Chains A and B, each alone.
Chain A
Amino acid sequence: MPSFREIQEELPNVLETNMTPRLELRHICKRYPGVIANDDVSLSIMPGEIHAVLGENGAGKSTLMKIIYGAIRADEGEMVFDGNPIASHGPSVSRALGIEMVYQHFALFESVSVVENIALSVSGKFDLTALANRVRDVSKKYGLPIDPHRFVYNLSVGERQRVEIVRCLMQKPKLLILDEPTSVLTPQAVIKLFETLRQLAAEGCSILYISHKLDEVQVLCDSATVLRNGLITGTAKPKQSTPIELARMMVGADLPETHLDPSTTSDTPFLNVNHLTAPSDNPFGISLNDVLLSVFGGEVVGIAGVSGNGQAELISFLSGEVLFKGADTITLGGKDVGQLDAGYRREQGLAFVPEERLGRGAVPPHHLSDNAMLTGHRLGMVKNWMIQRGKANDFAAQIIRKFNVKTTGYESAANSLSGGNLQKFIVGREIELGPKVLIISQPTWGVDVGAAAFIRQALIDLSRTGAAVLIISEELDELFEVCDRLYVICQGQLSKSLDRKNTNVEEVGLLMTGLNNNSNSDNSKAF
């Protein structure tokens, strides 16, 4: 399998400096209540160029892409495509021009088949058989084969992205926009994707590649525009810059580093999962198969894996949101909790930060004091069935202070906070509960780099006080930075435990594609 280096050396360079730019953005501005998402953004892309838009979460990249695609209207500025200004814009205008977009969170419909999904985006006679043939042809040509008659709910996340890409390719695009495409791919699948994109660019298609992953951008992209807080902070030729230079443009300072003190772990595991098998009763779900997992006090354990491999199911069993019938399968501090719901488990010292913040980790219309009570009420906020409002306010204020939550106060509604700030609040609340076990899913997703580092350090510090910390994350870099031990989840099965010091990204990446002989289940079915 070719490495990143080898591909890099083979790159054809089709940039010609005398052609009309494929796309020009001039002084684009977009404002939302309380924040300027894009502030006077201008850039230009040539045909056949692979152009990265770099920036941390919240920098304004997605907004800019949606403006280019026509899904959102800009407040000011103009766009020029192949030399012609775009007068009025919308997704159908984009498609007519040849602009196609692969969203970070796909716009695919699960309840219908691949070909039906694609039919929704193409015009002309509604002939599914002919369309299915075209789908097969295009997907094979670009090395991403798919079966057009499969229902989307049966597809893995990686396969769904393939469908999205094939859908775009069938339109013979002139400009392809990809928004964080590799967050759902294993390292090996990323290499495959880059080959496809190279092939496309060689045919003259321009590619806009949105990412926050510097190493990938360096391998793939000819040029880069860096956004921070809605402004352009610089442009670069990634292959000629160092990661540190790019990072500085993205962040404005050197990347903060986390420090890992050594620690001693407890004798017995605080959280233990013993041969958990749970068939999924939901056509859209993943069955869990013979999962073995233990987390000791004083350590940080990670579960790596592309989302959609059973994490959501496993987490719901661990948190108590879904009950498990088997005896002694899920234990907290030695006590069998499979049949106890989330409330009881919290009484046993469990805390949990879910992936979904609004709607699950916090109640959107409630203010922060009420949201602090959501899981903090055991800290003396309820007396004689009545709410002790003062104590709730104090607890909320304490979280806001300690975790630097930017807000006007504990009276503000949860849905008025930015994603990153809300996450800081929820993480802060769960840590301030002083738990024995903390489970946290996608801890820094959507959070800016400073807050992300803060959260990761807080998790490490929590474990060093003796608590057991379990992190489920798609970001391998994050897990390698923070964890003492790692597991990999794939198709509902969990790998054996890996010591972080004794493994690397490639090995974990391989496990993410298939667990064959590494799973710690006694049941060694190959799949």
Chain B
Amino acid sequence: MDLFIAIFTGTIIAATPLIFAALGELVVEKSGVLNLGIEGMMLVGAAVGVWVSYAGLPMPLAIMSAAAAGALASLLFGVLALTFLTNQYAAGLSLTIFGTGVSAFIGKGFGSAPIDALIPLEIPFLTEIPVIGPLFFNYDPLVYFSFIMFGLISWFLYKTKAGLVVRTIGESPESSHAIGYPVIKIRYLAVMFGGAMAGLGGAYLSLAYTPLWVENMTAGKGWISLALVVFAAWRPARVLFGAWLFGSMTILQLQGQALGISLPSEVLSSLPYIATIVVLVVISKNWQFLALNFPTSLAKPFRPAE
């Protein structure tokens, strides 16, 4: 039973950074923009979070700084993709490279001094319940926040006019512009939101998950988040499901010994990446299923005709 609890909670925790980053990118892509720079933004968020924490400032400030840093970093991509109409793949890659470098730069000299990490919240009474307690009520605030964001984003996209505007911009920015919506402004906002979420995801890694800074500590989670959005067929609920799937892969690696798996650690470490490929293959074969939710204008540069 303890093993089951460990795997369950471990999965939720491992999935949290993916949920942040993938939900953020989902909103961005729904508006028709493809940002490949998630890895860079997550790393920037992770580094900034640690930086602020080391400076002795309180944890909430560190988390907010990380989100702000992610949003700021995303502007690099935004300017290229939305104002200069660059190929969005190349623009996203430049953000990844730049963000990786900047995070390493900030992180130099952190050493491995321990961070005042984000610890699980003790909810009076609820945490005490046997079994249910540790399964559902023993997480740090960011985990709960990720679920709140899931609810907010779902409501926003499908129940509000603003969300409808975002979705229809993703289908046809030309038509949106013809109606009179400021397509470029809205896309900038979406991109920055995605950046803030990616920054949060990165901060979760460095402040809660493995509370320390290591260069390139995201180890591909940004790319996996991108795959998650495709796997989710651009629907928020499926992002959660996919994130849990990948979280469980990560846990397999950590709990491998306890589960009696005796493969070399590198093999276990490669499971998330192999799983990503498998998932992509399966989902891409069934293009008809994706077509209804696919934002038709995805990654195509848009310039309002004057």
Contacts and interface: CB of A to CB of B under 8 A. Distances in A.
Contacts of A284: 291
Chain B interface SS verdict (over half): helix
A120 B165 contact: yes
A257 interface: no
Contacts of A71: 177-178, 305
Interface string B167-193: 110011011111111000000000000
B247 to A, nearest CB: 31
Contacts of A3: none
Chain A contact-residue range equals: 20 to 34
A321 interface: no
Interface in A262-312: 281-284
Contacts of B293: 111
Interface string B110-149: 0000000000000000000000000000000000000000
Interface string A71-100: 111000000000000000011100100000
Interface in A103-137: 103, 106-112, 116, 119-121, 126
A134 to B, nearest CB: 16
Interface string B255-278: 000000000000000000000000
B161 interface: yes
Nearest to B294: A111
Interface string B146-173: 0000000000000011001101100110
Given A73-B306, A116-B164, A120-B168, A107 B291 contact: no
Interface residues on B, range: 20 to 34
A112 B168 contact: yes
Given A109-B172, A111-B167, A112-B168, A126 B160 contact: yes
A110 B291 CA distance: 11
A322 to B, nearest CB: 14
A36 B27 CA distance: 41
B9 to A, nearest CB: 38
A111 B292 contact: yes
Contacts of B292: 111, 283
B306 A109 contact: no
Contacts of A72: 305-306
Contact of A120 (B164, B174, B296): B164
A210 to B, nearest CB: 16
A107 B176 CA distance: 8
Contacts of A126: 160-161
Contact of A282 (B167, B171, B288): B288
Contacts of A95: 180
Contacts of A73: 306
A112 B179 contact: no
Contacts of B175: 106-109
8 contacts: A103-B178, A106-B175, A107-B172, A116-B164, A120-B176, A120-B181, A282-B288, A284-B291
**4 nearest A-B residue pairs (beta carbon):** A91-B180, A107-B175, A126-B161, A109-B168
Interface of A: 71-73, 90-92, 95, 103, 106-112, 116, 119-121, 126, 281-284
